[in-house]
Amino acid sequence: MHDPVTDPEVLLQRYVEDRLSHEDALAMMELLTRDPTWLNKITSQLQTDAMLREVSKISCRSQDFKVQMPRRHFQWRASLTRLAIAASIAFAFFLIYPPDEEAELTTNAVAVLMSADHAQWSGYSPKQGMPLAPTVLHLTHGLAQIEFYQGARVTLEGPAKFELLSTNSARCTQGKLSAHVPPQAKGFRIETPKGTLVDLGTDFGLDMNMPSPEIHVFKGEVQLHRESAAILPIKGGEALALSYPSKKSNADQVAFESLATLDQRTAASQRQAFQNWLTLSSDWKADPSMLLHLDFQDAKHTRSLRNHSLQAANIPDASIVGCQWTQGRWPGKQALEFRNVSDRVRLSLPGEYSAITLCAWVRVDSLDRAFNSLFMVQGYENGGMHWQITRDGKLRLGLAGRSGAPNHDYDTPSIITPDRFGRWIHLVTVIDPSSHEVRHYLNGELAARLPRLHTFKVQMPLAELGNWNNGGRFGSSAIRHFSGLMDEFMLSARVLSDREIEQCAQ
Amino acid sequence: MALKYAPWPGLTEDISQQVFLEFIAKEERWDLERDLRPLLATMTRFVAMRLWRERTREKPEVVQKLAEHIRQLSEEQQIEPRFEQEIGLLNECLNKLPDTSRNLVQLYYYHEIGTPEIAEQLNMKADTVCRALSRVREKLRECIQRRLQAAASSYA
């Protein structure tokens, strides 16, 4: 029991929560007698409480009512009949109070970072494949290739300061760049302190590192627009110093050759990354706490994924159902594609575990389902785990209740947003029994730290990657398959440190 | 309306469900061509009072007295029937809450964890959690009112 109080706010909450003690009721009565207008507060609190309950229910229904476990409110109504009635009513309420239609997603991105080689940035540090909103990019070292949404492609060499202005324009104050402007992007503009370059569909180079910045047009035509001066055309094969526009010279393609080698350099860098991964991967294989390590580098005809962990004698290889092989993060790295309702990888892991770390490299192509499975145990009961991404991009660990403890979902905020679709991301979720926490990580960085309300061991006797099997318990099974690629999966019976997780994500 | 006749926590949902059930059970009696609002209002009032009695009679006597006192005062109140509109505004207001308040709402309403358990997990005093929740609801109510007024003045 709690101590009696006279704090109106505490009393209000106890009233709303239906936890008033004898003394609380007396205190409330006194407050009301002294000031009848206090009733307005009570009514207001009850109204808001009723709406919040309704909103939380709508949110719950909108995910997947079909197999959603009954929430606490219904638990004391043991009868299944009542639950069925409640479901009908919930459906009726859904019709009466439909949730707002999903607002159309928007983006302010104007370009995408297509590739980079040894790129180092100062300030904002975009990653390869990342959509870019208007911003200043400060490339201190290396090469970076940016594709504007209207089609222009710019390769930058650091050190460079390049500001994205729109889908077809930018500002450059420092550095060297080459640009390819296809006919669809005609009119692409680059502003410089010495004037604005307007491209008429061409290939050109701009060197802002020279004492007098120079433009070299290799093909087509570029116009130089200056304040209070006539437009100056620069034809293919011509070059000029922007400070002395009247003096043209021959374009020097060799001076920009370093920018043309980006593709080769990127390929070399990918080979290196693959080698690094192979080394790190063998380290994980020697970790005794690793229960399951699937590196997806299996012979394609076997239709199984070998478990490379030291525990492999107890935990069998996984079986591939439906999925097709494809390329993973780098050339030479294999991945499985999950696309159809039937696609899945079947696993079995005997035992019960207090600590767990789940790691996966995935490429999310879309979030079509209310729940998009990464790793889900068959059914959902008795300490089972559902590792998944919700439709709104939250990474979720659902833990089925055990020993009287209720089911509970541990969610991040919406972190897997459409701008991450089609790019490789590293996801980790940790159950940490010592800190009583569930932690989620995205690309090596902590995304959410959530208190674990009830502690019990988890188990996953049968499970699936990229899909869910309800174990035949509810008749037809809800569709929760993953849409995308996966090229590595690890499950450890210990809590990986932040440093280890960061290392995995590199 | 359910709140007006049964100002008791968590009852509105039960009342709505019961009205729906009773309406469906006697479906053949109703003339669905007519305006059903007066009928539903009457049903809601009766169901609300019945459920309120059922819920409060199991409470200690002093709590029953308080509940009766609140109900009598509440019946005299004029409550605007705009639940649906306010629900929409509530969603907007929830998005404006600071993270800590939103987390609290998440734990209490979405995960249905009681205040003592929240306090234990967050290493706070239970009364502090109670105060915080009351304030969050008050802030949400103020936010809804502001938006209703803004909408009204934009139509004026």
Task: Identify the residue among B87, B103, B145 best suited for mutation to test binding to A, counting A beta carbons within 10 A and taking the highest.
Answer: B87
Q: What is the pLDDT of residues A198-244, one digit of tens each?
A: 998 889 999 999 888 999 999 999 999 988 788 899 999 999 998 88
- Let me know: does A390 contact A372? Beta carbons within 8 Å: yes
d(CA B76, nearest CA chain A) in Å: 11
More confident: A19 or A478:
A19
Nearest to A145, CA basis, from A119, A122, A165, A168: A119
* Cβ atoms within 10 Å, residue A237: 13
pTM: 0.53
**Cα of B5 vs its chain's centroid, Å:** 12
Q: Are residues A465 and A380 in the same domain?
A: yes
pLDDT at B137: 93
Position A89 pLDDT exceeds 60:
no
Whether A66 maps to a domain, the answer reads no
Put simply, the answer to whether B60 touches A25 (Cβ < 8 Å) is yes
In the listed set A195, A229, A260, which residue is the last one of a domain according to the structure? Answer: A260
Judged by CB atoms closer than 8 Å, whether chains meet at B141 and A44 is answered as: yes
- The answer to whether residue A69 scores a pLDDT higher than 50 is no
pLDDT at A355: 95
Pick from A203-207, A275-279, B79-83, B136-140: least confident? B79-83
Confidence of residue A58 (pLDDT cuts 50, 70, 90): low
Long-range contacts (CB closer than 8 Å, 24 or more residues apart) made by A170-174: A172/A206, A172/A208, A173/A208, A174/A208, A174/A209
Let me know if B27 is exposed, middle or buried by CB neighbors in 10 A (0-12, 13-18, 19+). exposed
Instruction: State whether A298 and A409 are in the same domain.
Output: yes
> For residues A482 and A372, is the Cβ–Cβ distance under 8 A?
yes
pLDDT at residue A90 is higher than 60: no
Same domain, A366 and A279: yes
Strand A318-321 to A304-305 pairing = antiparallel
- pLDDT for the residue A475: 52
Mean pLDDT of B56-74: 83
CA-based max dimension of chain B? 57
Tally of helices (H runs) and strands (E runs) in chain B: 8, 0
A110, amino acid identity: V
Residues A370 and A437 in one domain: yes
- Is the pLDDT at A466 greater than 90? The verdict is yes
**Cα–Cα distance, A24 to A4 (Å, whole number):** 6
Task: Let me know whether A332 and A480 are in one domain.
Answer: yes
Q: What is the pLDDT of residues A123-149, one digit of tens each?
A: 888 887 788 888 899 999 989 999 998
Per-residue pLDDT for B104 more than 50? yes
Q: What is the pLDDT of residue A163?
A: 94
Residue A238 belongs to a domain: yes
Interface contact A9-B10, CB threshold 8 A: no
Residue carrying the six token digits 């709104």: A392
* A124-133, A226-235, A386-395, B20-29: least confidently modelled range: B20-29
Q: Are residues A162 and A138 located together in one domain of the fold?
A: yes
Give A75→chain B minimum CA distance, Å.
12
Strand boundaries in B45-99, DSSP class E = none
Closest CA to A197 of A174, A171, A224: A224
If you write DSSP's letter for every residue of A277-318 in order, what string do you get? HHHHHHHHHT-TTEEEEE-S---GGG-EE-B-SGGGGTSPPE
Give yes or no for residue B84 having a pLDDT over 90.
no
Rounded Cα distance, A416 and B1, in Å: 41
CB contact under 8 A, A7 and B115: no
Q: Which of A218, A243, A260 is the last residue of a domain?
A: A260
Do residue A55 and residue B109 have CB atoms under 8 angstroms apart? yes
The answer to whether the Cβ–Cβ distance between A42 and B16 falls below 8 Å is: no
Q: Percentage of residues in chain A with pLDDT exceeding 70?
A: 88
Cα distance from B17 to chain A (closest Cα, Å)? 6
Which residues in chain B are closer than 8 Å to A18, comparing Cβ atoms? 8-10
**CATH code of residue A348:** 2.60.120.200
A385-405 burial, b at 16+ Cβ within 10 Å, e below that, comes to bbbbbbbbbbbbbbbbbbeee
DSSP letter (8 states) at residue A99: P
Cα B129 from Cα B117, distance rounded (Å): 10
Helix pair A80-96, B11-25: axis angle to 10 deg = 90
Residues 45-84 of chain B with CB under 8 A from chain A are: 60, 62-63, 65-66, 69-70, 73-74, 77, 79, 83-84
Same structural domain, A232 and A378: no
Q: What is the CATH number of the domain that holds A239?
A: 2.60.120.1440
Inter-chain residue contact B73 with A36, CB threshold 8 Å: yes
Residue B87, min C-alpha distance to chain A (Å): 6
Q: Is a pLDDT exceeding 70 seen at residue A472?
A: no
- Whether A8 is in a domain gets the answer no
Question: What ranges do the domains of chain B cover?
Answer: 2-75, 83-155
Band (pLDDT 50/70/90 cuts) for residue A59 is low
DSSP class of B108: I
Looking at per-residue confidence, does A120 or B6 come out higher?
A120
- Residues A380, A470: Cα–Cα separation, whole Å: 7
User: What are the DSSP calls for A336-375, one per residue?
Assistant: EEE-STT-EEEEEEEEEES-EEEEEEEEEEE--SSEEEEE
At A11-27, the pLDDT tens digits run: 999 988 888 888 888 88
Count of C-beta atoms within a 10 Å radius of residue A140: 13
Min Cα–Cα distance to chain A from B151, Å: 18
Rounded to whole angstroms, the Cα distance separating A361 from A274 reads 14
Asked if residue A103 has pLDDT above 60, the reply is no
Instruction: Give the domain extent around A125.
Output: 111-260
Query: What was the pLDDT predicted at A239?
Result: 93
Q: How far apart are the first and last CA of chain A?
A: 51
Q: Find the CB nearest B70 among A39, A97, A408.
A: A39
- The shortest CB-CB distance from B137 to any of A45, A72, A408 is to A45
What is the average pLDDT across B96-101? 85
The DSSP H or E segment spanning B41 is helix B37-56
Q: Measuring CA to CA, which residue among A319, A320, A312, A313 is closest to residue A292?
A: A312
B112 φ, ψ (degrees, to nearest 5): 55, 50
Q: Measured between CB atoms, which of B9, B66, B121 is closest to A17? A: B9
pLDDT tens-place string over residues A286-324: 888 999 999 999 988 888 999 999 888 888 899 999 899
A241 and A153 housed in the same domain: yes
Contact B115 A13 (CB under 8 A): yes
Its CATH class, for the domain covering B83-155, is mainly alpha
The total domain count for chain A is 2
**DSSP 3-state assignment of B103?**
helix
Name the domain boundary from A243, A260, A277: A260
Distance (Å, whole) CA A158 – CA A143:
6
Position A420 in a domain: yes
Nearest-CA distance B56 → chain A (Å): 10
Put simply, the answer to whether B65 touches A46 (Cβ < 8 Å) is: no
pLDDT band at residue A398 under the 50/70/90 scheme: very high
Tell me the two tokens of residue A482: 């993953």
